[in-house]
Amino acid sequence: MKTADQLAVDGPIRRVLVANRGEIAVRVIRTLRRLGIESVLAVSAADRNSMGARLADRTVCIGPARAADSYLSIGTLIEAARGVGAQAVHPGYGFLSERAEFAAACAEHGLIFIGPTAKQIERVGNKLEARRCAGEADVPVAPGGPVENLLAALALAEEIGYPVLIKAVGGGGGRGLKRANTPAELTALFDLASSEALAAFGDGRVYVECFVTQGRHVEVQILGDGESVIHLGDRDCSVQRRYQKLIEEAPAPSLTDTMRHELHAAAVRFSEHIGYRSLGTVEFLVDVARQRFYFLEMNARIQVEHPVTEQITGLDLVAEQIVVAQGHKLRLTQADVRLSGHAIECRINAEDPTHDFRPAPGKVSAVHFPVWPDLRVDTHIEAGAMIPPYYDSMIAKVIATGGTREQARKLLESALSEVRVDGVLTNIALHRAVLATPEFSEGGFDTGFLGRFLAGSGAAAFGTTTAQTSSEGKR
């Protein structure tokens, strides 16, 4: 069997425009460098001196700092890719990675989009269409459906029972997502959810879905070539704050063998049904009380949390993406995928725990991450780096791998005690506090875990008021 590295360089792609920033840009550039494929990083004016700009073979400035004028400008990125003679574009995650218009524009101008097809992005990006596809593939979906107005929403909620979620048809990430426990709350929140959805996604349509009070967020990594699909194991992402993931791990703990097998099979069925190409993640909500699961959505891109899957499979997922983008069929069968050990990842954000975790941009005066066996750090920061106020606040991911979950947890806990990021506030202390809780140590908690923890201890229990002490962290 040929390796991913051998196949990734066998094809038309010789130069790639990396249409992203931050740690994912650095991550992609490093794989391209190892493969001998030239990287050109698209940078805004705010990122001219970033680590990614230093590591890339070339850079091209695509506009001012504001994302709408740079990283979200499809025409500018297409022009940049053609101008530097790139054969392909890697969108990373976020920004335009799940915009069907971007994938379509690449194809229209003869550029290879390192990801799924525009049609696939469009199908799974529309949550109602994705639910329909799941039903056709015999993948269970949570009770609910589309609603045209408040009266329809109230009728459906009465039918499926409270609490319910109001969800945006055109997006995710917690935007336009509201929980209603009563008809009065649904009445008060319906128009707000629709307005938020319209502002965030240009689509004000919403649907109503039953809310599982004890639910776990479990997702399955898949890889397809348009014909065949395999899974690369599962992840648990139940440590969330306001629907934003904070800690992820692979494999998901405390699942029965039967449940795990059914989740994997459902993810593959869904992906095969739409003829999926490239990397993707099928997300599920596991009902802890009933031991059932429901389809949530599919993310048609590489995920922030992909390193934990890489750590337990030994695969470079970016390289596997490029293999498919070069036009090759899958080099692996399901039997070739071997899962070994356990990996846990913490997202380090530049934010202030004492002020509702608001972003805390600034200049990093010093930084230290321990270099240990089985410890991986994906980051774009270094001493002197500026954390701009215009983008996502994540500055690093710290990933620990062990033969068992407890070994990985202890390693991560020890590593975070030595991480130092001076000059900006971070959430490192929160991570250390969470990792030390008996509930996290036991595993199998639901998505309400972090909210209960914060309500019980309060941010002041681990927050700080200065950048220096915050970076060192306290329990």
* Chain-centre distance for alpha carbon 369: 22
* Cβ atoms of residues 300 and 116 within 8 Å: yes
Retrieve residue 148's tokens: 């045209």
Residue with tokens 């031991």: 291
Is 277 annotated as catalytic? no
- The single-letter code of the amino acid at 358 is R
Q: Rounded to 5 degrees, what are φ and ψ at 124?
A: -80, -20
* Cβ atoms of residues 243 and 168 within 8 Å: no
- Name which of 475, 402, 376 is nearest 434 in CA terms: 475
CA atoms within 13 Å, Cβ hemisphere of 238: 28
- What is the per-residue DSSP string for 245-289? EEEEEESPSS--HHHHHHHHHHHHHHHHHTT-EEEEEEEEEEETT
- Name which of 73, 72, 48 is nearest 58 in CA terms: 48
* Cβ atoms of residues 330 and 340 within 8 Å: no
CB atoms within 10 A of CB 474: 13
By CB atoms closer than 10 A (0-12, 13-18, 19+), residue 404 is exposed
CB atoms within 10 A of CB 384: 12
In sequence order, the β-bridge partners of residue 294 are: 285
| Catalytic one of 131, 235, 301, 376 | 301
Distance between CA 459 and CA 356 in Å, rounded?
A: 8
Q: Residues 198, 201, 207, 213: what is their CA dihedral angle, to the nearest 10 degrees?
A: -110
Distance between CA 452 and CA 103 in Å, rounded?
A: 40
* DSSP β-ladder status, 15-18 and 38-43: parallel
Cα–Cα separations (whole angstroms), residue 201 to 95, 171, 174, 462 = 12, 6, 12, 35
Cα–Cα separations (whole angstroms), residue 392 to 21, 205, 297, 388 = 10, 26, 22, 9
* Chain-centre distance for alpha carbon 270: 19
**Three-state secondary structure call for residue 190:** helix
Q: Name the residues annotated as catalytic.
A: 301
